């Protein structure tokens, strides 16, 4: 285990065991360096990882604080797309292209020269489009993908597992859900929606060792989605 991973696990354990509470300020970077006997670079990486996991946040001039979240609870959520077992669903590959999204490219690239590729797909139910999805994937992974499966929509998760033994359903992630009404005319047309129609946007970052390895942007027709959360 790398030094920064040990620090991440230790602070995460303190949060879960309530040694530190939501809203509490963590020790300064200098104090953490002395506590764990590591360099500033190691502490910075550990804190960045915890921040990416939404366990802490930094406030300029004030310090680093524990996020007010349900880290000490089990949270279950149920997504319901309101379809029945009688409905026919399929996925269609729309396009594969090099990403020019500066924010996503910056989050995904390890080396400045590395390219990021986008797999764009549309999902249908009974012949009607209801979801537009874009997977942003760094070249180091994407270059190994099997494009034969692209005819059936290119199963990104299968390629990650087959070639890198990465289970995209079990790795750590952070997902933001928004209701937006400013989706481009071109994207709305792909879902057969009119301009100004509210759309649910999912923005998901998946992590390995604290680094983002995939970003997924999903646009969903609001009429086809329901989310239920329960905590225990």
Q: What is the DSSP string of the chain?
A: --HHHHHHHHHHHHHHTTSS-TTPBPPPHHHHHHHHT--HHHHHHHHHHHHHTTSEEEETTTEEEE--S-TTS-EEEEEE----TTS-EEEEEEEEEE---HHHHHHH-SSTT--EEEEEEEEEETTEEEEEEEEEEEHHHHTT--GGGGGGT--HHHHHHHHH---TTTSEEEEEEEEES---HHHHHHTT--TT--EEEEEEEEEETTEEEEEEEEEEEGGG-EEEEEE-
Q: Which domains does the chain have, with CATH numbers?
A: 3-66 (1.10.10.10), 77-231 (3.40.1410.10)
Percent of the chain surpassing pLDDT 70: 87
- Asked whether the CA dihedral 183, 188, 191, 192 is positive or negative, the reply is positive
Q: What is the mean pLDDT of residues 51-68?
A: 86
Q: What is the mean pLDDT of residues 45-67?
A: 88
Q: Is residue 155 very low, low, confident or very high in pLDDT (cuts 50, 70, 90)?
A: confident
- Asked whether the CA dihedral 84, 205, 15, 22 is positive or negative, the reply is negative
Give residue-wise pLDDT tens across range 87-97.
787 888 888 99
Q: Is residue 112 very low, low, confident or very high in pLDDT (cuts 50, 70, 90)?
A: confident
Among 121-130, 189-198, 199-208, 220-229, the minimum mean pLDDT is found in 220-229
pLDDT over 80 at 118, yes or no: yes
pLDDT over 80 at 37, yes or no: yes
Q: Is residue 44 very low, low, confident or very high in pLDDT (cuts 50, 70, 90)?
A: very high
Stronger pLDDT, 75 or 108, i.e. the higher one:
108
**Closest alpha carbon to 216 in 128, 157, 139:** 157
pLDDT over 80 at 141, yes or no: yes
pLDDT over 90 at 59, yes or no: no
Among 54-58, 133-137, 144-148, 209-213, the minimum mean pLDDT is found in 144-148
Tell me the pLDDT of the chain averaged across its residues.
85
Structure tokens at 162: 């087959």
pLDDT over 70 at 147, yes or no: no
Write down the pLDDT at residue 110. Answer: 74
Q: What is the mean pLDDT of residues 61-66?
A: 90
Q: What is the mean pLDDT of residues 92-114?
A: 88
């Amino acid at each position: 285990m790398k030094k920064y991973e040990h620090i991440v696990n230790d602070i995460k354990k303190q949060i879960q065991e309530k040694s530190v509470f939501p809203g509490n300020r963590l020790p300064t970077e200098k104090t953490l360096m002395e506590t764990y006997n590591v360099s500033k670079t190691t502490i910075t990486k550990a804190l960045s990882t915890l921040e990416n996991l939404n366990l802490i946040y930094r406030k300029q001039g004030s310090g680093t604080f524990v996020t007010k979240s349900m880290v000490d609870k089990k949270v279950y959520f149920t997504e319901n797309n309101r379809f029945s077992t009688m409905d026919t669903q399929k996925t269609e590959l729309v396009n594969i292209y090099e990403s020019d999204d500066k924010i996503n490219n910056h989050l995904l690239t390890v080396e400045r020269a590395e390219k990021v590729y986008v797999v764009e797909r549309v999902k249908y139910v009974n012949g009607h489009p209801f979801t537009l999805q874009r997977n942003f994937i760094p070249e180091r992974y994407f270059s190994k993908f099997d494009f034969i499966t692209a005819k059936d929509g290119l199963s990104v998760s299968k390629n990650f597992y087959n070639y890198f033994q990465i289970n995209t359903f079990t790795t750590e992630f952070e997902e933001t859900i928004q209701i937006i009404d400013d989706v481009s005319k071109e994207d709305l047309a792909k879902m057969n929606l009119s301009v100004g129609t509210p759309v649910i946007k999912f923005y998901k970052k998946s992590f390995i060792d604290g680094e983002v390895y995939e970003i997924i942007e999903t646009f969903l027709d609001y009429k086809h989605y329901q989310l239920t959360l329960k905590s225990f």
